[in-house]
Protein backbone atom coordinates (compact mmCIF):
# COMPACT_ATOMS: atom_id res chain seq x y z
CA UNK A 1 0.00 0.00 0.00
CA UNK A 2 1.31 3.46 -0.89
CA UNK A 3 1.77 6.15 1.74
CA UNK A 4 2.61 9.88 1.62
CA UNK A 5 5.38 9.78 4.18
CA UNK A 6 8.62 7.87 4.73
CA UNK A 7 7.02 5.58 7.25
CA UNK A 8 8.43 2.16 8.02
CA UNK A 9 5.88 -0.62 7.93
CA UNK A 10 6.80 -3.35 10.46
CA UNK A 11 7.60 -6.69 8.88
CA UNK A 12 7.45 -5.09 5.42
CA UNK A 13 11.09 -4.00 5.05
CA UNK A 14 12.37 -0.57 3.94
CA UNK A 15 10.50 2.78 4.12
CA UNK A 16 7.81 3.28 1.52
CA UNK A 17 8.64 6.20 -0.79
CA UNK A 18 5.85 8.60 -1.73
CA UNK A 19 4.67 8.85 -5.34
CA UNK A 20 4.42 12.54 -6.32
CA UNK A 21 1.69 11.79 -8.82
CA UNK A 22 -0.45 9.81 -6.47
CA UNK A 23 -3.16 10.96 -4.08
CA UNK A 24 -5.51 8.74 -2.09
CA UNK A 25 -9.20 8.57 -2.86
CA UNK A 26 -12.03 8.02 -0.43
CA UNK A 27 -13.56 4.57 -0.40
CA UNK A 28 -17.12 5.82 -0.89
CA UNK A 29 -16.93 8.71 -3.36
CA UNK A 30 -13.64 8.04 -5.11
CA UNK A 31 -12.71 11.72 -4.65
CA UNK A 32 -9.14 12.67 -3.83
CA UNK A 33 -8.64 12.99 -0.10
CA UNK A 34 -6.32 15.39 1.71
CA UNK A 35 -5.19 12.96 4.37
CA UNK A 36 -3.06 9.89 3.60
CA UNK A 37 -4.63 6.47 3.60
CA UNK A 38 -3.25 4.60 6.61
CA UNK A 39 -2.51 0.89 6.52
CA UNK A 40 -5.27 -1.31 7.93
CA UNK A 41 -5.39 -2.37 11.54
CA UNK A 42 -3.59 -5.65 11.92
CA UNK A 43 -6.14 -8.13 13.17
CA UNK A 44 -7.76 -11.46 12.54
CA UNK A 45 -10.90 -11.57 10.39
CA UNK A 46 -13.14 -10.53 13.30
CA UNK A 47 -11.00 -10.42 16.41
CA UNK A 48 -7.70 -9.66 18.00
CA UNK A 49 -7.66 -5.96 17.05
CA UNK A 50 -4.27 -4.36 17.66
CA UNK A 51 -2.61 -1.04 17.13
CA UNK A 52 -2.10 0.40 13.66
CA UNK A 53 1.05 -0.33 11.69
CA UNK A 54 3.77 2.15 12.41
CA UNK A 55 3.10 2.42 16.13
CA UNK A 56 5.47 0.99 18.69
CA UNK A 57 3.73 -2.37 18.99
CA UNK A 58 0.45 -4.09 18.24
CA UNK A 59 -0.50 -5.05 21.79
CA UNK A 60 -1.75 -8.43 22.94
CA UNK A 61 -4.49 -10.08 20.88
CA UNK A 62 -7.73 -9.71 22.80
CA UNK A 63 -9.91 -12.72 23.56
CA UNK A 64 -13.37 -11.87 22.17
CA UNK A 65 -14.91 -14.66 24.21
CA UNK A 66 -14.52 -12.44 27.24
CA UNK A 67 -16.54 -9.78 25.46
CA UNK A 68 -19.28 -12.31 24.70
CA UNK A 69 -19.42 -13.38 28.33
CA UNK A 70 -19.33 -9.80 29.61
CA UNK A 71 -22.37 -9.01 27.46
CA UNK A 72 -24.19 -12.08 28.90
CA UNK A 73 -24.13 -13.81 25.54
CA UNK A 74 -23.67 -17.52 24.82
CA UNK A 75 -20.53 -18.57 22.96
CA UNK A 76 -20.78 -21.52 20.56
CA UNK A 77 -17.80 -23.86 20.55
CA UNK A 78 -16.72 -26.38 17.89
CA UNK A 79 -14.94 -29.57 18.94
CA UNK A 80 -12.14 -31.16 16.89
CA UNK A 81 -11.48 -34.88 17.31
CA UNK A 82 -10.17 -35.63 13.80
CA UNK A 83 -6.57 -35.07 12.74
CA UNK A 84 -7.39 -32.69 9.89
CA UNK A 85 -5.98 -29.18 9.77
CA UNK A 86 -8.25 -28.42 6.84
CA UNK A 87 -11.31 -29.36 8.89
CA UNK A 88 -10.08 -27.29 11.85
CA UNK A 89 -9.63 -24.31 9.54
CA UNK A 90 -13.09 -24.79 8.02
CA UNK A 91 -14.66 -24.85 11.48
CA UNK A 92 -12.82 -21.67 12.42
CA UNK A 93 -14.46 -19.92 9.47
CA UNK A 94 -17.88 -21.57 9.96
CA UNK A 95 -19.17 -19.04 12.49
CA UNK A 96 -18.18 -20.65 15.78
CA UNK A 97 -16.89 -18.33 18.49
CA UNK A 98 -14.15 -20.79 19.40
CA UNK A 99 -12.80 -24.18 18.34
CA UNK A 100 -11.46 -26.69 20.86
CA UNK A 101 -8.76 -29.18 19.89
CA UNK A 102 -9.38 -32.33 21.94
CA UNK A 103 -6.26 -34.15 23.12
CA UNK A 104 -8.10 -36.39 25.56
CA UNK A 105 -10.23 -38.34 23.10
CA UNK A 106 -9.19 -36.88 19.77
CA UNK A 107 -7.43 -39.21 17.34
CA UNK A 108 -4.08 -37.41 17.39
CA UNK A 109 -1.17 -36.48 19.62
CA UNK A 110 0.64 -33.32 20.61
CA UNK A 111 2.47 -32.76 17.33
CA UNK A 112 -0.75 -32.87 15.34
CA UNK A 113 -2.49 -30.71 17.94
CA UNK A 114 -0.01 -27.90 17.31
CA UNK A 115 -0.89 -27.94 13.61
CA UNK A 116 -4.60 -27.99 14.44
CA UNK A 117 -4.21 -24.93 16.69
CA UNK A 118 -2.37 -23.18 13.86
CA UNK A 119 -5.23 -24.00 11.51
CA UNK A 120 -7.85 -22.68 13.93
CA UNK A 121 -5.92 -19.49 14.57
CA UNK A 122 -5.77 -18.78 10.83
CA UNK A 123 -9.49 -18.02 11.01
CA UNK A 124 -11.65 -15.85 13.27
CA UNK A 125 -12.49 -18.43 15.97
CA UNK A 126 -10.58 -18.47 19.26
CA UNK A 127 -8.26 -21.51 19.51
CA UNK A 128 -8.79 -23.61 22.62
CA UNK A 129 -7.71 -27.09 23.67
CA UNK A 130 -8.68 -29.87 26.02
CA UNK A 131 -5.59 -31.34 27.64
CA UNK A 132 -5.53 -35.13 28.11
CA UNK A 133 -5.04 -34.87 31.89
CA UNK A 134 -3.87 -32.62 34.68
CA UNK A 135 -0.27 -32.58 33.46
CA UNK A 136 1.53 -29.22 33.85
CA UNK A 137 4.03 -30.05 31.09
CA UNK A 138 1.30 -30.79 28.53
CA UNK A 139 -0.76 -27.81 29.68
CA UNK A 140 2.21 -25.49 29.29
CA UNK A 141 3.02 -26.84 25.84
CA UNK A 142 -0.56 -26.30 24.62
CA UNK A 143 -0.47 -22.73 25.88
CA UNK A 144 2.94 -22.21 24.27
CA UNK A 145 1.38 -23.53 21.04
CA UNK A 146 -1.15 -20.70 21.09
CA UNK A 147 -4.22 -22.07 22.88
CA UNK A 148 -6.19 -19.14 24.28
CA UNK A 149 -8.26 -21.34 26.57
CA UNK A 150 -7.81 -24.75 28.22
CA UNK A 151 -10.38 -27.29 29.34
CA UNK A 152 -8.97 -29.75 31.87
CA UNK A 153 -10.75 -33.10 32.39
CA UNK A 154 -11.47 -34.99 35.60
CA UNK A 155 -11.24 -32.16 38.11
CA UNK A 156 -12.79 -33.54 41.28
CA UNK A 157 -11.46 -31.29 44.03
CA UNK A 158 -10.40 -27.74 44.80
CA UNK A 159 -6.80 -28.93 45.08
CA UNK A 160 -6.87 -30.29 41.53
CA UNK A 161 -8.52 -27.10 40.26
CA UNK A 162 -5.83 -25.00 41.94
CA UNK A 163 -3.08 -27.13 40.39
CA UNK A 164 -4.69 -26.69 36.97
CA UNK A 165 -4.88 -22.90 37.33
CA UNK A 166 -1.27 -22.74 38.54
CA UNK A 167 -0.13 -24.62 35.42
CA UNK A 168 -1.81 -21.94 33.27
CA UNK A 169 -0.40 -18.85 35.03
CA UNK A 170 3.10 -17.41 35.12
CA UNK A 171 4.88 -16.78 38.44
CA UNK A 172 4.31 -15.32 40.92
CA UNK A 173 0.62 -16.19 40.43
CA UNK A 174 1.25 -19.70 39.09
CA UNK A 175 4.00 -22.06 37.99
CA UNK A 176 3.89 -21.96 34.17
CA UNK A 177 7.35 -22.16 32.64
CA UNK A 178 8.48 -19.41 30.27
CA UNK A 179 8.72 -20.37 26.60
CA UNK A 180 5.65 -18.97 24.80
CA UNK A 181 6.75 -19.85 21.23
CA UNK A 182 3.53 -19.59 19.17
CA UNK A 183 1.94 -17.67 22.04
CA UNK A 184 4.03 -14.70 20.98
CA UNK A 185 3.16 -15.18 17.31
CA UNK A 186 -0.57 -15.45 17.92
CA UNK A 187 -0.90 -13.26 21.01
CA UNK A 188 1.56 -10.50 20.20
CA UNK A 189 4.87 -9.18 21.58
CA UNK A 190 3.45 -8.42 25.03
CA UNK A 191 1.71 -11.78 25.32
CA UNK A 192 3.60 -12.77 28.46
CA UNK A 193 2.56 -9.62 30.32
CA UNK A 194 -1.12 -10.21 29.59
CA UNK A 195 -1.43 -14.01 29.25
CA UNK A 196 -2.69 -14.55 32.80
CA UNK A 197 -5.57 -12.13 32.21
CA UNK A 198 -6.33 -13.39 28.70
CA UNK A 199 -6.24 -17.20 28.73
CA UNK A 200 -9.45 -18.86 29.94
CA UNK A 201 -9.28 -21.79 32.36
CA UNK A 202 -12.11 -24.35 32.44
CA UNK A 203 -12.22 -27.19 34.98
CA UNK A 204 -14.32 -30.15 33.84
CA UNK A 205 -17.08 -31.26 36.20
CA UNK A 206 -17.83 -34.85 35.23
CA UNK A 207 -18.16 -36.92 38.38
CA UNK A 208 -20.21 -37.24 41.54
CA UNK A 209 -17.08 -36.20 43.47
CA UNK A 210 -16.86 -32.97 41.48
CA UNK A 211 -20.50 -32.21 42.19
CA UNK A 212 -19.89 -32.75 45.91
CA UNK A 213 -16.90 -30.38 45.79
CA UNK A 214 -18.47 -27.90 43.37
CA UNK A 215 -18.53 -24.87 45.67
CA UNK A 216 -14.92 -25.44 46.71
CA UNK A 217 -13.83 -25.84 43.08
CA UNK A 218 -15.61 -22.63 42.10
CA UNK A 219 -13.88 -20.73 44.89
CA UNK A 220 -10.38 -21.39 43.49
CA UNK A 221 -8.77 -18.03 42.58
CA UNK A 222 -8.02 -17.61 38.90
CA UNK A 223 -10.43 -20.28 37.68
CA UNK A 224 -12.61 -18.77 34.97
CA UNK A 225 -15.27 -21.44 34.70
CA UNK A 226 -16.40 -25.04 34.87
CA UNK A 227 -17.29 -27.24 31.91
CA UNK A 228 -19.63 -30.23 32.21
CA UNK A 229 -18.81 -33.53 30.51
CA UNK A 230 -22.30 -35.10 30.49
CA UNK A 231 -21.33 -38.66 29.59
CA UNK A 232 -18.64 -39.27 32.20
CA UNK A 233 -20.98 -37.54 34.63
CA UNK A 234 -23.75 -39.94 33.63
CA UNK A 235 -21.49 -42.94 34.27
CA UNK A 236 -20.51 -41.55 37.65
CA UNK A 237 -24.17 -41.10 38.56
CA UNK A 238 -25.04 -44.65 37.53
CA UNK A 239 -26.69 -43.70 34.24
CA UNK A 240 -26.04 -44.84 30.68
CA UNK A 241 -23.91 -42.36 28.71
CA UNK A 242 -24.74 -41.08 25.25
CA UNK A 243 -28.46 -40.57 25.81
CA UNK A 244 -30.27 -37.64 24.27
CA UNK A 245 -31.96 -36.06 26.04
CA UNK A 246 -29.71 -36.68 29.01
CA UNK A 247 -31.09 -38.67 31.98
CA UNK A 248 -32.91 -36.69 34.62
CA UNK A 249 -30.08 -36.94 37.21
CA UNK A 250 -27.64 -35.48 34.66
CA UNK A 251 -30.07 -32.69 33.78
CA UNK A 252 -30.45 -31.87 37.47
CA UNK A 253 -26.67 -31.75 37.77
CA UNK A 254 -26.48 -29.39 34.79
CA UNK A 255 -28.93 -27.08 36.53
CA UNK A 256 -26.92 -27.30 39.75
CA UNK A 257 -23.65 -26.45 38.00
CA UNK A 258 -24.84 -23.36 36.12
CA UNK A 259 -26.59 -21.98 39.20
CA UNK A 260 -23.57 -22.50 41.44
CA UNK A 261 -21.13 -21.17 38.85
CA UNK A 262 -22.99 -17.91 38.35
CA UNK A 263 -23.52 -17.48 42.09
CA UNK A 264 -19.73 -17.71 42.48
CA UNK A 265 -19.09 -15.28 39.63
CA UNK A 266 -17.73 -18.02 37.36
CA UNK A 267 -18.62 -19.14 33.84
CA UNK A 268 -20.44 -22.35 32.96
CA UNK A 269 -19.88 -24.43 29.84
CA UNK A 270 -21.02 -27.86 28.69
CA UNK A 271 -20.90 -30.40 25.89
CA UNK A 272 -24.17 -31.34 24.17
CA UNK A 273 -25.38 -33.97 21.71
CA UNK A 274 -26.37 -31.54 18.99
CA UNK A 275 -27.62 -28.03 18.28
CA UNK A 276 -31.02 -28.56 19.87
CA UNK A 277 -29.47 -29.87 23.09
CA UNK A 278 -26.98 -27.00 23.08
CA UNK A 279 -29.87 -24.56 22.68
CA UNK A 280 -31.40 -26.08 25.80
CA UNK A 281 -28.17 -25.49 27.69
CA UNK A 282 -28.13 -21.87 26.54
CA UNK A 283 -31.70 -21.50 27.80
CA UNK A 284 -30.51 -22.76 31.18
CA UNK A 285 -27.99 -19.91 31.20
CA UNK A 286 -24.82 -21.67 30.05
CA UNK A 287 -22.15 -19.28 28.79
CA UNK A 288 -20.36 -21.75 26.49
CA UNK A 289 -22.05 -24.60 24.63
CA UNK A 290 -20.63 -27.26 22.31
CA UNK A 291 -23.20 -28.74 19.88
CA UNK A 292 -21.44 -32.08 19.35
CA UNK A 293 -18.01 -32.82 17.94
CA UNK A 294 -16.81 -32.83 14.34
CA UNK A 295 -17.46 -36.57 13.84
CA UNK A 296 -21.04 -36.33 15.13
CA UNK A 297 -21.72 -33.37 12.83
CA UNK A 298 -20.24 -35.23 9.85
CA UNK A 299 -22.24 -38.38 10.52
CA UNK A 300 -25.47 -36.44 11.02
CA UNK A 301 -24.96 -34.46 7.81
CA UNK A 302 -24.12 -37.64 5.89
CA UNK A 303 -27.20 -39.45 7.19
CA UNK A 304 -29.40 -36.48 6.31
CA UNK A 305 -28.06 -36.28 2.76
CA UNK A 306 -28.35 -40.04 2.16
CA UNK A 307 -31.85 -40.07 3.60
CA UNK A 308 -32.94 -37.25 1.31
CA UNK A 309 -31.80 -39.28 -1.71
CA UNK A 310 -33.07 -42.71 -0.71
CA UNK A 311 -36.37 -41.44 0.74
CA UNK A 312 -37.44 -44.20 3.07
CA UNK A 313 -35.68 -47.17 1.54
CA UNK A 314 -34.78 -49.96 3.95
CA UNK A 315 -31.08 -49.21 3.61
CA UNK A 316 -31.51 -45.57 4.68
CA UNK A 317 -29.19 -44.92 7.65
CA UNK A 318 -30.68 -43.76 10.92
CA UNK A 319 -29.79 -40.19 11.78
CA UNK A 320 -26.52 -40.14 13.67
CA UNK A 321 -27.17 -38.87 17.16
CA UNK A 322 -24.64 -39.02 19.92
CA UNK A 323 -24.05 -37.03 23.08
CA UNK A 324 -20.32 -37.18 22.34
CA UNK A 325 -18.19 -36.44 25.36
- Catalytic sites, residue numbers: 105
For residue 192, what are the contacts with CB-CB under 8 A and spacing of at least 6? 170, 178, 180, 183, 184
Beta bridge partners of 102: 130
Which residues are CB-contacts of 99 (< 8 A; sequence separation ≥ 6)? 77, 78, 79, 80, 88, 91, 92, 120, 125, 126, 127, 128
- Please check whether residue 220 is in contact with residue 161, taking contact to mean a CB–CB distance below 8 angstroms: yes
Of 169, 179, 187, residue with least CA distance to 141? 179
How far apart, in whole angstroms, are the C-alpha atoms of residue 60 and residue 147? 14
Sequence-distant (≥ 6) Cβ neighbours of residue 61 within 8 angstroms: 44, 47, 48, 50, 148, 186, 187, 188, 191, 198
Could you list the beta-strand ranges (E) of 116-199. Answer: 126-130, 149-152
* CA trace torsion 67, 70, 74, 79 (10° rounding): 50
Cβ(279)–Cβ(270) under 8 Å? no
How far the first Cα of the chain sits from its last, in Å, is 48
Query: 302, 292 in Cβ contact below 8 A?
Result: no
Amino acid sequence: MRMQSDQIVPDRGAPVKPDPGWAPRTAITGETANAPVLPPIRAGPTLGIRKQWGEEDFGVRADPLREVFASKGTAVNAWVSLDSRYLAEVLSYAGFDCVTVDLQHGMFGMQAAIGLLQAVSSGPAVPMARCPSLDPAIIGKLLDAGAYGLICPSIGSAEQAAAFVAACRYPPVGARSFGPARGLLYGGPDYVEHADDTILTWAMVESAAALSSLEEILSVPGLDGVYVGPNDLALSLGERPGQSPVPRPVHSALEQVVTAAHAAGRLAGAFAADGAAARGLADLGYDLVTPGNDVAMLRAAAAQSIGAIRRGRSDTPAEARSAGY
